[in-house]
Amino acid sequence: MKKFNLLLAFFFVVSVSCAQKSPRLQSKGDLNGTQVAIDYGAPSVKGRTIWGGLEKYGQVWRAGANENTTISFDKDVTIGGKKLAAGKYGFFIIPNESGDWVAIFNKKNDAWGSYSYSEADDAVRVMVTPTFDSNVQEQLMYAVDNSGIVFAWDKARLHIDVK
């Protein structure tokens, strides 16, 4: 019985510590009368190599941790010159070693990670030019500013224009 209780306590501690590693966060904002809501798991850098290491170049990434990152718009918007209907979308990024990255708004918004991602479900794909800051953003962060969606993690920064 004592071994069972120790094992149970171990699994509880592991479960709690794993759950706290990448908390679920939300960012909301008003973008010229359109309500934008972003829901994401927020991993931390923790000294790891993120781009080209943890997140491989040229591969679809769920743009957060655990469940898909989702972005919702309460009105139709235009992203990178492409129309996107009001709704809730799974959000993915393809980081590239050089040049622009790909930001993807996918119709499937309830997946775990990018394991079931299908390009056929993409609603909009846009190219986004990353910038790199000398300061590390330890925990993944999304925000809504007056012209779009802001992404920051590690030294990478993205701004996705939304109209």
Q: Is the pLDDT of residue 117 over 90?
A: no
Q: Identify the pLDDT of residue 2.
A: 58
pTM (predicted TM-score): 0.85
Residue-wise pLDDT tens digits, 128-143: 999 999 999 999 999 9
For the chain, how long is the longest CA-to-CA vector?
Answer: 64
Q: Identify the pLDDT of residue 114.
A: 74
Mean pLDDT value of segment 62-86 = 96
Mean pLDDT value of segment 113-135 = 92
What is the end-to-end Cα distance of the chain in Å, rounded? 62
Q: Identify the pLDDT of residue 3.
A: 54
Residue-wise pLDDT tens digits, 16-48: 444 558 999 999 999 999 999 999 999 999 999
- Residue 54: pLDDT band by 50, 70, 90 thresholds? very high
116's torsion region: left (phi>0), alpha (psi -120 to 50) or beta? Answer: alpha
Q: Identify the pLDDT of residue 20.
A: 53
Residue 13 DSSP symbol: H
